[in-house]
C-alpha cells in the first residue's frame, strides 16, 4: 500500500473514532436524564444534547464524503475496501442512534402521568444500560478488530427485545389506573415510543457489529441465524 492511500484510510478510521465518541457521549447524557427519574430535563444537559446533535449531522456528512472520496481516489483493494464500506455503514447507523436519542429526549416531557413514569424508570434505565454497552462493544469490535465483541453484541439483541416486552407488561400491571383514561393512554403511547427508540438503538448497534465482521473477514452475516454466526 502506498503512503498516501494508507494515510487516507487511517484518517477515516480516526475520524470514525471521534464520531463514535460523540454518539456514545449522547447516550451517556441520556443515561443521566433517565437515571434522575425526573421528566424535567436540566437546561444545560438539554442544550448540550441539542448542540451535539448539530455537530453529529455535520460530522456524518463530512465523514461519509471522506469515505467515498477515499474509495474513489485511492481505489483500495480487498480488505481495505471492505473496511471502508463497513465504516460507511456504521456511520449511517451511528447517526440514526443520535437521532433516536433526540426522539427519546423529546418524548420524556410528553408523559403526563408522573406515576407511570416512576414505575417504569428503573427498567428503562436497565434497558438503556444494556443497549449502551452494545453500542460501545460494537464500535470496539471495529476499531480493535475484535470479532468476539461483534458476536457478543449480535447475540444480546434479543435481550433488549425481551426487556421491551417485560417493561410494557410491568407498566400496565402496576399502574392500577383505568385503561380508558386519556392521559394514561397518552402516557403509555409516549412510553412505548421511548422503549421502541432504545430497542432501535440496539438494532443499530447490531448492524455496526455485523459490518465489523464483514470488514474483518468478508462474511455477510446479516440474514443468518444467530446460532450460525
Q: What CATH number does the domain containing 195 carry? A: 1.20.58.220
Per the CB < 8 A criterion, the answer to whether 17 and 63 are in contact is: no
pLDDT tier, 145 (very low <50, low <70, confident <90, very high otherwise)? confident
The pLDDT value recorded for residue 42 is: 94
Is residue 54 pLDDT above 90, yes or no? yes
Mean pLDDT of 9-30: 95
The pLDDT value recorded for residue 227 is: 45
If you search the block for the grid coordinates 449511517, which residue do you land on?
92
Query: Which residue range forms the structural domain that includes residue 150?
Result: 3-228
Q: Which of 22-26, 107-111, 176-180, 224-228 has the highest mean pLDDT?
A: 22-26
Distance CA 185, CA 191 (A): 10
pLDDT tier, 67 (very low <50, low <70, confident <90, very high otherwise)? very high
The pLDDT value recorded for residue 128 is: 92
Distance CA 211, CA 67 (A): 15
pLDDT tier, 76 (very low <50, low <70, confident <90, very high otherwise)? confident
Per the CB < 8 A criterion, the answer to whether 138 and 206 are in contact is: yes
Quick: pLDDT tens for 201-223.
Answer: 888 888 888 888 877 876 766 54
The pLDDT value recorded for residue 202 is: 87
Residue of 102, 97, 98, 119 whose CA lies nearest to 191: 119
Per the CB < 8 A criterion, the answer to whether 97 and 23 are in contact is: yes
The pLDDT value recorded for residue 12 is: 93
224 DSSP 8-state letter: S
Is residue 173 pLDDT above 80, yes or no? no
Global pTM value:
0.78
Neighbouring CB atoms inside 10 A of 160's CB total 22
CA 144 to chain centre: 19
Mean pLDDT estimate for the chain:
83
Per the CB < 8 A criterion, the answer to whether 146 and 215 are in contact is: no
> For the ranges 42-56, 59-73, 125-139, 196-210, which has the lowest average pLDDT?
196-210
- The per-residue b/e assignment along 187-211, b for 16 or more CB within 10 angstroms, e otherwise, is bbebbebbbebbbbbbbbbbbbbbb
Q: Which of 19-28, 99-108, 119-128, 169-178 has the highest mean pLDDT?
A: 19-28
Quick: pLDDT tens for 94-129.
Answer: 998 999 999 999 989 888 777 778 777 887 888 899
| Total domains, the chain | 1
Compare 212 and 226 and report the one with higher pLDDT: 212
Q: Is 169 exposed, middle or buried (0-12, 13-18, 19+ CB in 10 A)?
A: exposed
The pLDDT value recorded for residue 127 is: 86
Amino acid at each position: 500500500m502506498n503512503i498516501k492511500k494508507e494515510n487516507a484510510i487511517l484518517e477515516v478510521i480516526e475520524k470514525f473514532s471521534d464520531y463514535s465518541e460523540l454518539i456514545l457521549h449522547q447516550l451517556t447524557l441520556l443515561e443521566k436524564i433517565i437515571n434522575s427519574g425526573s421528566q424535567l430535563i436540566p437546561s444545560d444537559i438539554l442544550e448540550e444534547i441539542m448542540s451535539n446533535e448539530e455537530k453529529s449531522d455535520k460530522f456524518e456528512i463530512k465523514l461519509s464524503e471522506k469515505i467515498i472520496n477515499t474509495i474513489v481516489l485511492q481505489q483500495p483493494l480487498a480488505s481495505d475496501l471492505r473496511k471502508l464500506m463497513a465504516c460507511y455503514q456504521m456511520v449511517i447507523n451511528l447517526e440514526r442512534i443520535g437521532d433516536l436519542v433526540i426522539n427519546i429526549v423529546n418524548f420524556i416531557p410528553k408523559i403526563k402521568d408522573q406515576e407511570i413514569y416512576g414505575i417504569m424508570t428503573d427498567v428503562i434505565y436497565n434497558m438503556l444500560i444494556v443497549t449502551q454497552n452494545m453500542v460501545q462493544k460494537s464500535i470496539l469490535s471495529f476499531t480493535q478488530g475484535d470479532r468476539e465483541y461483534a458476536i457478543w453484541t449480535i447475540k444480546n439483541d434479543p435481550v433488549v427485545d425481551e426487556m421491551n416486552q417485560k417493561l410494557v407488561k410491568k407498566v400496565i400491571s402496576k399502574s392500577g389506573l383505568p385503561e380508558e383514561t386519556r392521559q394514561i393512554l397518552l402516557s403509555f403511547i409516549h412510553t412505548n415510543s421511548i422503549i421502541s427508540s432504545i430497542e432501535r438503538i440496539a438494532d443499530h448497534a447490531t448492524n455496526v457489529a455485523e459490518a465489523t465482521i464483514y470488514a474483518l473477514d468478508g462474511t455477510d452475516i446479516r440474514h443468518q441465524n444467530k446460532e450460525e454466526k
